[in-house]
Amino acid sequence: MPEEQKENLPIGVKGAVVGGAAVYLLFKAGAGYGWMLRPPGAVTEEEFLKKCLRCGRCAHVCPYNSVEMGRLTDGIAIGTPVIIPREMPCYLCPDLPCVKACPSGALDPELKDALKTRMGTAVITEREECLSIKGLRCEVCYRTCPAIDKAITVENYLNVKTGRHAIFEPVVHKKDCTGCGICEKACVLERPAIVVQPLQPPSESWYEG
Amino acid sequence: MKVNRWTVWRRIVQILVLLLLATPSFGLSFFEGNLGAAAILGLQLSDPLAALQILILTGSLTLTMLSGTGIILLFYGILGGRVFCGWVCPVHFMTDLTDMFPWTKRLTFWRLEWKYIALAITGILSFALGVPAFETFSPIGIAGRALTFGASSSLIVLVLIIIIELILVRRIWCRCLCPLGGFYTLLGHLSPLSVAYDQAKCTNCGECQRVCFVPEVLEPTLNKQVDRVHSGECTRCGACIGICPDHALNFGIRKPF
């Protein structure tokens, strides 16, 4: 009996190493799936992945159910909180319940002012599609922006196509944009012309301290 | 069939834990989180293994995590580490139910010590991937998330466990592979609460080993070498106590050794 057991152990070690390697490859392969919009106060992505326990408390306390949890297809980010603005953006609660709920500091408790968070930044990705830039009076992104006249302003200039009308172009100012995604959600187009993207280059921290 | 009173109690607790984990999806707010980190009525709790991984990865812990871990360590330190497995863990509940299907030809049991290898690999993977590895692939986390965020592709991990346990090896996850089980086994060695054994009453009928999912732990006891179950593998599930026709087993409190 003891000899049989001695033979079993190396199989166990081999099995465990193979299993460990498989898990490593599975998650390493899924790690390249690009950027995810994190809840307010999230520390840098590398640090965030180290600290996030995937407990879902930020999602449980979110009054808008804005926070979803990563799926198996998100690779290494499985179970981590993500905001998909087109489904439900972050409405920047002044009391920041998600940040308060986070036990591990993945959402930095030093963040006190929701407007200071820098989850990402809105970018007008489809200039040709944007109704305002086409010369129509849309400006929905500007009107819904929680940092209106700071993060998004409207610049007007002559519509050269008609020669007599004005174009009211929404302009994003990265410095003041929280990355909440309300504009992305509000954009009237089927595929939004304004989309939240990562801050480039990534700063030391995703919010202003 | 005789009803095992300890198993009945355990099923009630297991179902209550499932309901507790699911409360956020009913719009109730007295509980938030999962078995990795949670708050019940504002009381912060966190899993010591999760805290350990974060400590390894970042070199620091928040006060919330530290106090939450302290409470959990104390709780399971007194009751016996694997009480978590037997009474709380939803995956253990799931495999308990899986194990009720008697009709399959499977390898009965594999070795228990693999859990320590799995625990070591969890540590290595945490370093290699830069994430708390157990929280990443943990079926416990997946089960908890499924309860509040709905079914997702991640559930395939749980299905795989059920299939493997049904056709290959009984209880392979909880007995041999779960790193958290390995961690709590280590903690369980320190516990003062354990199954006490009355040698005079025992008739060596073997019923206790038949109902135990880690029957190895009863071996030294039945060989009349010790008067209690010393192993940290014991989940204090009480199945052996409930089944024993001779009333030779009971919970007892001894000085931890």
Taking chain B (257 residues) in runs of 10, the rounded mean pLDDT of each run is 85 94 87 90 92 91 92 91 93 91 71 88 88 90 90 87 87 90 89 87 87 87 81 90 89 73
For residue A89, the distance in angstroms to the closest alpha carbon of chain B comes to 17
Answer whether A202 touches B (CB < 8 Å): no
Q: What is the pLDDT of residue A3?
A: 45
Contact A50 B121 (CB under 8 A): no
List every span in chain B annotated with CATH 3.30.70.20.
194-253
Residues 58-77 of B with CB under 8 A from A: 58, 62, 64-65, 68
Contacts of A71 in chain B (CB under 8 A): 152-154
Name the nearest CA neighbour of A186 among A170, A166, A165, A207: A170
CA distance B46 to B130: 20
Q: What is the pLDDT of residue A7?
A: 53
Query: What does the DSSP 8-state code read for residue B183?
Result: H
Where b means 16+ CB within 10 Å and e means fewer, B95-129 reads bbebeeeeeeebeebbebbbbbbbbebbbebbebb
Contact A54 B65 (CB under 8 A): no
Q: What is the pLDDT of residue A55?
A: 92
Q: What is the pLDDT of residue A100?
A: 93
Q: What is the pLDDT of residue A58?
A: 94
Taking chain A (209 residues) in runs of 10, the rounded mean pLDDT of each run is 51 72 69 78 91 93 92 83 95 95 93 92 93 93 95 94 92 94 95 90 60
Contacts of B124 in chain A (CB under 8 A): 20
Amino acid letter for position A75: G
Where b means 16+ CB within 10 Å and e means fewer, B62-84 reads bebbebbbeebbeebbebbbbbb
Q: pLDDT for B49-94, tens place per residue?
A: 999 999 999 998 999 999 999 999 999 988 888 999 999 999 999 9
Contact A57 B32 (CB under 8 A): yes
Name the nearest CA neighbour of A83 among A118, A115, A40, A124: A40
Which residue carries 């089927």 as its tokens? A190
Size of interface A-B (CB pairs under 8 A): 137
For residue A67, the distance in angstroms to the closest alpha carbon of chain B comes to 10
What ipTM was reported for this prediction? Answer: 0.87
Residue of B nearest to A53 (CA): B135
Residue of A nearest to B124 (CA): A20
Contacts of A55 in chain B (CB under 8 A): 33-34, 36-38, 141
Q: Looking at the partner chain, which of A16, A59, A69 has a beta carbon nearest the beta carbon of B121?
A: A16
Q: Which of A27, A55, A65 to mutate to test the interface with B (most CBs of B within 10 A)?
A: A55
Q: What is the pLDDT of residue B207?
A: 87
- pTM for this entry: 0.85
Fold of B194-253: Alpha-Beta Plaits (3.30.70)
Contact A8 B111 (CB under 8 A): yes
